[in-house]
Amino acid sequence: MNIESRIELLKKEIIKDDFLQGRGLGNEVPFWIFDYPPESELLIRHSMEQKYEQY
């Protein structure tokens, strides 16, 4: 899976009610571990900034 596809998946997952409400295995603070190559840092930042601006 390429980095753009993974970013889109991440965006879809972090806006789900279950994620935002902390529902899940431990019902704790929601977090998502997203590993990526260092050269993708600027792309990741830009994508997440756009997502945050929507909310």
**Nearest Cα to 32, choosing from 52, 50, 10, 53?**
10
How many domains in the chain? 1
Which pLDDT does position 42 carry in this prediction? 95
Q: What is the pTM of this model?
A: 0.72
Which positions of the chain have pLDDT values less than 50? none
Which pLDDT does position 23 carry in this prediction? 84
Which pLDDT does position 37 carry in this prediction? 94
Which pLDDT does position 55 carry in this prediction? 64
Which pLDDT does position 8 carry in this prediction? 92
Which pLDDT does position 2 carry in this prediction? 94
What domain range is 37 assigned to? 3-54
Largest separation between any pair of C-alpha atoms in the chain:
33
